[in-house]
Amino acid sequence: MNKVWTEKGNHNYAVKNREVSLMYFLERGFQWLKKINSQEEVIAELEQQKQQQRQPGFYAPEGVNESASDHIHDNSSLYAHNDTYIDLRTPSDEKRGALTLGFGFLYWISILVLSDIYTAWVEQLISGTSRENTPLSTTEYFTLIFYVLLCSTVLLLILKYTFRFLRLESFTARRVIVRFNRITRKVYLLRPEHLGGIRIMNWDKTQMIVDKSLIDLDESGGFVVLAWNKGDGTDLQGSPTDNIELTFVGKRASNAGELMAFWEYIRRYMEISPNAAPAPQKLISKFPSPLLSLKAASTFRGSGPLELLLWPTIPIHAIGHWLSLLLCYEPRFPKSIEDAGR
């Protein structure tokens, strides 16, 4: 639903939430956007979004003091809830597994093929004889060494130019966590360095970004997107942020009303009290259970005839999802943030 885009020369960059299928694609896309565009260009785009929100027939809250809905909804998106803070998920949790399986298969095939070739070549170099049991000439020695170096180079190039994509869902943080601390009135972003790193943002400066198409309640609700301007927060060392910051909060809402009720849940927790936004009956588990992976995979089965066609792929997707979880580490806030407000 929400779209962040920019145009530079003839190059267009777009992220549309309903089309995203890769974990951390949104976070990585926004970090890339900040690199290719100036801060002024990014701010101008977000200002355009905010202008849309002020058009007649569309309502969006101006700030954290303004109520967004008469209802609240936890959106099944909480990892933790207490009197000091709430920890929320991002939209990326289910969108994983395909890259792990795809690149895992690519690396597996590459290693199998190259290991067989390497073994044959090394045996020839050590024995000094070719496959026809004839002595190797000087030219053949150099040729075998060249082939070994060539294949090694190819393997290194494959790793160099594909590993960055694999890190979208493996060998990285298992999840991105957004913490809202009502005592310190801060929003803490727990992200790996390649996705922006840890940030400590001021709650009072938080801006909610909503796409105008959400006025249609039958439309898919998207998810909460929060933004902060330059200097509205700090990094872990206390240095002010030098660019705009963006974070995506919660799983996809089913409609615009649910999305606004979810934002209102967060707002009331921070602005009123924990009792105004009570804990859900069940918090999200962080344990990498294969059953949870199967449940996540089943949410993408489609409907009608397409559902029947996609059912056989669900176990495969679930395996990839679970492997992705196992290949990632569980992120934790630094002690200074864990103790903040207690």
Q: What is the mean pLDDT of residues 246-257?
A: 86
So what's the pLDDT on residue 165?
85
Is 170 or 132 the better-scoring residue by pLDDT? 170
**What is the predicted pLDDT for the residue at 75?**
93
Model confidence band, residue 20 (pLDDT cutoffs 50, 70, 90): very low
With bands split at pLDDT 50, 70 and 90, how would you rate the model's confidence at 19? very low
Given a cut of 70, is residue 285 above it in pLDDT? Answer: yes
pLDDT at 182: 97
What are the tokens at 279? 């804990």
Alpha helices in the chain (DSSP H): 25-36, 39-53, 98-127, 138-166, 256-271, 290-298, 305-310, 313-326, 335-338
Return the percent helix, strand and coil in the chain, to nearest 5: 45, 20, 40
Statement: residue 219 has pLDDT above 60: no
Which strands form 199-202's sheet, in the order they lie side by side? 78-81, 85-88, 177-181, 186-190, 199-202, 233-235
User: Minimal CA–CA distance to 228: which of 247, 249, 214?
Assistant: 247
What average pLDDT does range 96-108 have in this prediction?
87
Lowest mean pLDDT among 96-110, 178-192, 235-249: 96-110
Q: Which of 270, 46, 286, 263 is nearest to 190 (CA)?
A: 286
Q: What is the pLDDT averaged over residues 112-129? A: 78
Sign of the Cα torsion 112, 113, 116, 118 reads: negative
Mean pLDDT for the stretch of residues 43-72: 68
Q: Are 279 and 88 in contact (CB under 8 A)?
A: no
Q: Do residues 111 and 103 touch, judged by C-beta distance below 8 A?
A: no
Supply the pLDDT for residue 30. Answer: 80
Q: What is the C-alpha separation between 339 and 337, in angstroms, rounded?
A: 5
Q: State pTM to two decimals.
A: 0.79
CA dist 299 and 95 (Å) reads 10
- pLDDT of 160 over the 70 cut: yes
pLDDT for 232: 95
Are 88 and 266 in contact by the 8 Å Cβ rule? The answer is yes
**pLDDT at residue 106 greater than cutoff 50:** yes
Q: What is the mean pLDDT of residues 321-338?
A: 94
Is residue 5 over pLDDT 80?
no
